[in-house]
Structure 1
């Protein structure tokens, strides 16, 4: 790891992060098949997404900064909208190009899973558009196990992309 990880600040995302969060996500929209969004967003269009990740509860947004540059973010979002899925979340991590391979994804996931340990989350799912060996390694390092693969699930950049699904058991059982 070449980044001095002591210089990285990981904290909950706030309204002040909206523009850099949008810029970072738009990089992946324009340049990669990591997301299946095909049109870039304005910060105003991303505001509802930001607000769907409060500072408490199972749906979190954590950001990493190195000095005055956003290095990345991690989220736990609603897995599906139906009530029976409430104890499941979908995790994602996005890194700025300058932050890839420096351990920042690991820092973000460590912080995210520490917050989720206190929440009523039973399963964490992650979908990874293939190929993406770095993301596969990160998720496996955090105890995710492969549960399936959707072939040719998304069309972007003139071709189909497969998505491999992973899950991580956190073990919480709802009391209701």
Structure 2
């Protein structure tokens, strides 16, 4: 099924989304080096992560949805009336108080929802939501190679700061992580 862009909506994430968000994330855990988690997580393991992203403030969770097949317009929260296509987050860059005006951002798109502009829509909504927050910089770490993520971040004004060489080991090899920065 091909969706029209107008059918995709972005909203804050809620607890009812946790199972699907965990499934999306676990795909990247199992199949890619995009995340350096090495074992799939259970939804209960990610509950504190979800709850650390309220509807307002600098740490947000935005979820892209479309109506589930056969449900018309769909208005639910991942409970059958909508299909979750991906999510974007802003979270703490570092734990110490002086870092409070910096966030780290990320985007995860469902494996079968790629190449539809979902990541762009999520980041656009996330950065608009953050525009009135007391934030100075956003950072993103991108495991290399990942040209699609580099293009997405560059499109949103991120610039390359440097690369940590062979900083993580997954699937029996070492991976570089390129760090990007965006003024907010």
Instruction: Note whether the superposition's TM-score is higher than 0.5.
Output: yes
1:5 aligns with 2:5: yes
TM-score, with length taken from structure 2? 0.90
- 1:128-167 to 2 correspondences below 5 Å: 128-167=142-181
Instruction: Summarize deviations over 1:31-59 as a string: whole Å, max 9, x none.
Output: 00000000111111100000110111000
Match of 2:24 in 1: 24
Equivalent position SS for 1:162: strand
| Residues 131-140 or 59-68, more deviating | 59-68
Output the CA distance in 2 between the equivalents of 1:140 and 1:99: 21
User: 1:5, CA displacement in angstroms?
Assistant: 1.1
Output the CA distance in 1 between the equivalents of 2:123 and 2:110: 15
Paired residues of 1:5 and 1:104 also in contact (CA < 8 A) = no
TM-score, with length taken from structure 1? 0.94
User: 1:9, CA displacement in angstroms?
Assistant: 1.3
Match of 1:106 in 2: 120
Structure 1 gaps, min length 5:
171-176
Which structure 1 residue ranges, 4+ long, deviate > 6 Å from structure 2? Answer: none
Output the CA distance in 2 between the equivalents of 1:118 and 1:40: 35
Match of 1:63 in 2: 63
Output the CA distance in 2 between the equivalents of 1:3 and 1:147: 36
1:79 aligns with 2:93: yes
Output the CA distance in 2 between the equivalents of 1:10 and 1:22: 18
Number of residue pairs the alignment of both structures matches: 169
Equivalent position SS for 1:45: helix
Paired residues of 1:93 and 1:105 also in contact (CA < 8 A) = yes
